[in-house]
Structure 1
């Protein structure tokens, strides 16, 4: 297998997942800033959506999209389980991963692209108006505060289990802190959780 890697939170999610699995994969860098992901050969041979990361399997099949890549790796390398060992655990992890992705990751990333990242992304994709960026950031903040209340008394998003939901949330909160979307000061449960996850060796992957 080979991982097509780049800067940004999405590749960080997959790298951290791989590190938690104890795997070591060959990596090929894709230069996002130069737009290498949007032109051949990457955009027609690897990922027609022009996004990173991508995982090339041994038979040449390419799996794209962060969740799909992690799902594949979980099935191929089930230990340690990062999605779940039972149907119930897998459903719980997927539920929280979906909530985090839709309610926090998407508006956080959209707010960045429309504001701080506008100069980079405007020539490459349709963006919401600049004025909408603050609304997107506010949505992400509101949902973070909602999640913070759900985290009371929990070690990780799924209770005692460290999962893909934690990895996704951690990587995007770390990114948000670097691009003007810090964790709300009121989110004390998530702040404590963030420090726990930050202390894991995989966090620096």
Structure 2
């Protein structure tokens, strides 16, 4: 296998997931700033021109971070980061989906339509007038999440899961592009502090 990776929070999610599982596979950097991801070589891996892309041993490719992580979970079962029972897997998927739709998407699009506009306006449909509202929505949903995870070590309960990794990588990204989390969200802030102490946070950052 080989992981085509780059700067940005999406590939970092997969790298951190791999680090937590102790999975070591070759990495190949795709230069987003030069537009390498929009060249034919990478478009043949992912027609959307995005990263990451996981090349399997048969030469086929998987894209989308949750699909890649699901595959790695099934092929490297320990330690489990999605779950070992139908109930655990469903709960992790539920929280991962909630975080993805309610926080990740508005936060990422708030960046693309504002600070990232020079980079993205020629590549995707951008709506600059929506940027401020999207950023505000992401913050509102973080406050919503903060209340729901009170008293829990991690998002789903006592165990680290994909939901925590997804949240951490995107909130770290958000803070770097003008969308810091409000300190009043004490439960989320505590979770982020805990995640920063994990070796996988340092390994996946590069």
* Superposed pair shares fold, TM > 0.5: yes
What is the aligned length? 203
1:54 and 1:21 mapped to 2: Cα distance? Answer: 18
In the alignment, the residues of structure 2 paired with residue 196 and residue 17 of structure 1 have an alpha-carbon distance, to the nearest angstrom, of 16
**1:77 Cα deviation after fit:** 0.4
Give how far 1:189 is off. Answer: 0.6
1:19 counterpart residue number: 19
Q: Structure 1: how far apart are the matches of 2:150 and 2:100? A: 20
Query: Quick one: distance in 1 between partners of 2:28 and 2:138?
Result: 32
Please show how residues 149-168 of structure 1 align to structure 2 within 5 Å.
Answer: 149-168=147-166
Deviation at 1:88, TM superposition (A): 0.2
Alignment root-mean-square deviation, CA = 0.6
Aligned to 2:132: 134
Residue of structure 1 aligned with 2:176, choices 175, 178, 184: 178
Report the TM-score, using the length of structure 2 for normalisation: 0.97
CA displacement 1:19-57 (0-9 Å, x = unmatched): 0010111011100011111111111x2111110000001
Pair 1:81-2:80 in alignment? yes
Work out the CA distance in 2 between the residues paired with 1:35 and 1:102: 27
Instruction: After TM superposition, give the deviation of residue 131 of structure 1 in Å.
Output: 2.1
Show structure 1 runs of 5+ residues with no match: none
SS at match of 1:46: coil
**1:132: how far off?**
1.1
Deviating beyond 3 angstroms after TM superposition, the runs of 4 or more aligned structure 1 residues are: none
Q: TM-score, normalised by structure 1?
A: 0.98
Partner of 1:119: 118
Q: How much has 1:186 moved relative to structure 2?
A: 1.2
In 2, Cα distance between equivalents of 1:73 and 1:23: 9
Matches within 5 A, 1:43-62: 43=43, 45-62=44-61
C-alpha distance in structure 2 between counterparts of 1:24 and 1:145, whole Å: 36
Aligned to 1:3: 3
Partners of 2:67 and 2:187 in 1: CA distance: 29
**Residues 1:189 and 2:191 aligned together:** no
* CA positional deviation for 1:151: 1.3
State the Cα distance separating 1:170 from its structure 2 match. 0.1
Deviations 1:136-160 (CA, angstroms, capped at 9, x unpaired): 0011000000000011100000110
Q: What is the deviation of 1:94?
A: 0.1
